[in-house]
Amino acid sequence: SEWSSATLVTLSYLDEGSHVFLVQSRYLSGVVEEWPDTLLFSVDAIEGPSLRIQRLKTEVASAAVFSVDIIAEEVELVAGAGITLKFNADAMTLQTLTEGPFFTLNGGDILSFDTLATDAGATTLQLDIATYNGTQDYITGTGVIATLEFLAGNAGEYDIKFLETTTLRDSNNEPIEIEEKVEGV
């Protein structure tokens, strides 16, 4: 950041995980402190089982390519997911969808299908994904389900939202309660 005399700072849209905060001082004479003070901290704001978009906020220029991850957070006994996302079709165009490693944590394979539909300026992505042939019929833990790569369009602030139809499923295809669905901006 620019030099400031502020003694407090608010950090918005911090993603889950470890962070490093550095503070360096500059004396009135203009001499800069050689080694900044360092604060290591972790953010664990989401209680599982949850789904989230990672990065919570992504800033990009128009016509730039950017990506976000769909993360399963602290889930247990998950064998599949039906994830429905909605985003502004003028603001971003989906370029690629890549399965993440989460559904192979049991040593199995991934079965996935995705469909896109655009209506009245909004695009809906339906991703159905499951694991099979693993050492277990399910996955427990935290990890990347999929990575979405977009091309940025119109300037502005837009959401990537999970729709209510989003589900996690166990090996008997029964729904698993999702505590939180954390959207991206």
pLDDT in tens, the chain (185 residues): 888 888 888 888 877 888 899 899 988 898 999 999 998 988 877 777 999 999 899 999 989 999 999 999 999 999 999 999 999 999 999 999 999 999 999 999 999 999 999 888 899 999 999 999 999 999 999 999 999 999 999 888 999 999 999 999 999 999 999 999 999 99
| Token digits of residue 154 | 């119109």
So what's the pLDDT on residue 47?
78
| Residue 107 zone, left/alpha/beta (φ > 0; ψ -120 to 50; rest) | left
Residue 58 vs residues 4, 13, 46, 185: alpha-carbon distances, Å? 25, 9, 19, 6
So what's the pLDDT on residue 130?
95
So what's the pLDDT on residue 77?
96
So what's the pLDDT on residue 164?
95
So what's the pLDDT on residue 167?
96
pTM of the predicted protein model: 0.83
So what's the pLDDT on residue 81?
96
So what's the pLDDT on residue 155?
85
So what's the pLDDT on residue 48?
77
In 24-153, at which residue ranges do the beta strands (DSSP E only) sit?
37-43, 50-54, 65-78, 80-88, 92-99, 109-119, 122-132, 139-152
So what's the pLDDT on residue 69?
97
